[in-house]
Chain A
Amino acid sequence: MSTLTTNYLTPTGREEAWRFTPLSRLKGLHDAATVVADHISLSSHSVPDGVTISTQPSVETPPNSLTDDLVVQRVRDGASRVTVLAIAANAAPQSPIFLTRESGSSAQLSRTVIRAGVNSHATVVVENVGTGTFAEEIEMILEPGSHLHFVTLQEWDNDAVHLGRHHAIVGRDATFTSVVVTVGGSLVRLLPTVEYAGPGASAELYGLYFAGSGQHLEHRIHVDHNLPDGKSRVNYKGALSGDGAHTVWIGDVFIRAAAERTDTYELNRNLLLSDGARADSVPNLEIETGDIVGAGHASTTGRFDDEQLFYLESRGIPAAEAKRLVIRGFFLEILSKIGIETIEERIMNRIDQELSKVTIA
């Protein structure tokens, strides 16, 4: 795609893609009539050898992919400059590359492009803290043989509004792993999406979310198997607690006719910790070829397993602590995918904090 969309529509809430989202809480981010600041909001204080970060005019860095998301189109239109993070071919920085968000008081648009060079191997961590209202797009281009480990942390204060598309274009024999952690924000709606630019590419998408009272946390995964021998794994786990806590998980996986020998599995589990919380979970698998290695999905939403709690309590562990152990255990599988111990501990502490605010049913 080489031209920017110039006319976009305002979602009404009747569209399939927006039907779960409370538009009135978007602070106008979706509304063509609202004035939104153009702001370069992702930056890094220091980058390791073999990695460069710069800002470029949007016209010189056109989008690399198609989108039908109205807010993302608006980001593409409105952001005049793009943050470009480039990992050189064969570079393998030992330490993660941290991108931090400089959020302001006004609504913002932000575009970022991450380019992982041939056979490079790197970890990029995007940290979102504090508050803000913004819509963003991060495109990641994985060149052949590269490995990109992409971690996004939504540790917002509970009044932030964050809409975003994180799109990976995975090249031949490249591997993309992502871990999305959303534990803050008033309204967060993320689109972790994947397409393939070469055969033999692999994507693993992990996610963890915890919605407290009044929080709307939405993750809409889209994996487009458009080439042969591709692999994808999706595993998102969420917990909800408190009145009006709402999570939405959509898992769209498409296996096109050309995508022979595709191997895919997606999973979403939700743990309801109290009354008044609602988890929507919609896995969706469309297969256009008969020649696949595997394709499956599973989705469960439930309360605590009484037998697990009884087992722990019968060993002297008080009920509240037993529940905390079960929740920590539930999230550990995802959390451990981050691979950075200090961050894993920080997120677990945040979850403990959220848990301590509520009486677990």
Chain B
Amino acid sequence: MSTLEIKNLQVSVNTEEGSKQILRGVDLTINSGETHAIMGPNGSGKSTLAYSIAGHPKYTITGGSVTLDGVDVLAMSVDERAKAGLFLAMQYPVEVPGVSVSNFLRTSVTAIRGEAPKVRTWVGEVKEAMAALSMDPAFAERNVNEGFSGGEKKRHEILQMELLKPKIAILDETDSGLDVDALRVVSEGVNRIKETNNLGIMLITHYTRILRYITPDFVHVFSNGRIVEEGGAELANKLEENGYAEYVTA
């Protein structure tokens, strides 16, 4: 049982006009096995929340705390956060020329598990995980995210999540750029991993579409850098009907 606890988190970003505050006091607790949907209009700070927790250097924490099972996440380097059990599935996964998927996965898994996986079991493990996401085995020989379609990038993110077995995963707009079939495959992957590993999920999305496949236990409406309303899955239906208009302040 793990708990990610975000308390009064305040984050700013440096712009040409100086420091600009994006997050204005976010409070959120995610336990193992829970799925929290973070929904909100574009520019409300959802992705900033995701990247701040993962430790992207672009963001400056100006207040508040983030802990995983009581341990200060904000004091950790980016790789330490991953080793502690956090995972960020990115909206725009980055191309890494000349680094094959198989090399990348092996290096990453070695770092997270603290030892190189056994060759014999490793090959099977990757194959199985890829098959579960309907990925061609030849995929492993391609360079990381290079020339991947939108669907391939997202499958690759979920593949990593499967192999790295995080305690808490943040899925940033994982549904964007996916057609219905890819969305179904990716969602089934997320549900399977959650089931097997008792994963806690922060699911960031603009649209309710993915919530038909991944049922949230909690829905949080995000606007202007903070959570402005919370509820159960039914809140998503209301958003589907009415949009975000009532939450957007001028």
Contact = CB atoms under 8 A, between A and B. Distances in A.
Interface of A: 305-308, 310-319, 321-322, 325-326, 328-333
B79 A318 contact: yes
Contacts of B90: 311, 314
Interface residues of B, number: 31
Contact of A310 (B57, B83, B87): B57
A321 B107 contact: yes
A352 to B, nearest CB: 14
Interface of B: 54-58, 77-79, 81-83, 87-88, 90, 93-99, 103-104, 107-108, 111-112, 143-144, 160, 164
Contact of B94 (A307, A318, A319, A325): A307
Contacts of B78: 310, 313-314, 319
B55 A329 contact: no
A328 B144 CA distance: 13
B160 A325 contact: no
Given A306-B57, A315-B160, A316-B79, A329 B108 contact: no
B169 to A, nearest CB: 12
Given A316-B79, A319-B77, A325-B96, 10 more contacts: A305-B94, A314-B54, A314-B55, A315-B82, A315-B160, A317-B108, A321-B107, A321-B111, A329-B99, A329-B143
Given A314-B54, A316-B82, A316-B164, A326 B96 contact: yes
B77 A313 contact: yes
Contacts of B87: 314
12 contacts: A305-B94, A306-B57, A311-B93, A312-B104, A313-B55, A314-B79, A314-B87, A315-B160, A316-B108, A317-B79, A329-B97, A329-B98
B82 A314 contact: yes
Most buried by B among A308, A313, A318: A313
A348 to B, nearest CB: 11
B164 A315 contact: yes
A305 B99 CA distance: 14
B111 A318 contact: yes
B191 to A, nearest CB: 22
B96 A329 contact: yes
A315 B98 contact: no
B56 A310 contact: yes
Contact of A313 (B79, B95, B160): B79
A308 B96 contact: yes
A317 B143 CA distance: 17
A310 B88 CA distance: 11
Contacts of B103: 325
B84 to A, nearest CB: 9
A319 B98 CA distance: 18
Contacts of B94: 305, 307-308, 310-311
Contact of B96 (A306, A312, A321, A333): A312
A329 B79 CA distance: 20
Contact of A319 (B79, B97, B104): B79
Ranked nearest first, the 3 interchain pairs of A and B with the lowest CB-CB distance are A329-B98, A332-B98, A316-B82
Given A325-B99, A329-B97, A316 B83 contact: yes
Contacts of B104: 312, 315, 325
A360 B54 CA distance: 23
Contacts of A332: 98-99
A313 B107 contact: no
A328 B111 contact: no
A181 to B, nearest CB: 16
B108 A315 contact: yes
A330 B98 CA distance: 6
A325 B77 contact: no
A44 B3 CA distance: 67
Nearest to A322: B79
Given A310-B78, A313-B82, A328 B56 contact: no
Contacts of B57: 306, 310
A6 to B, nearest CB: 49
Contacts of B97: 329-330, 333
Contacts of A321: 107, 111
A332 to B, nearest CB: 4
A351 to B, nearest CB: 12
Given A310-B57, A316-B164, A319-B77, A326 B99 contact: yes
A307 B90 CA distance: 11
**Residue of A311, A313, A315 contacting most chain B CB atoms (<10 Å):** A315
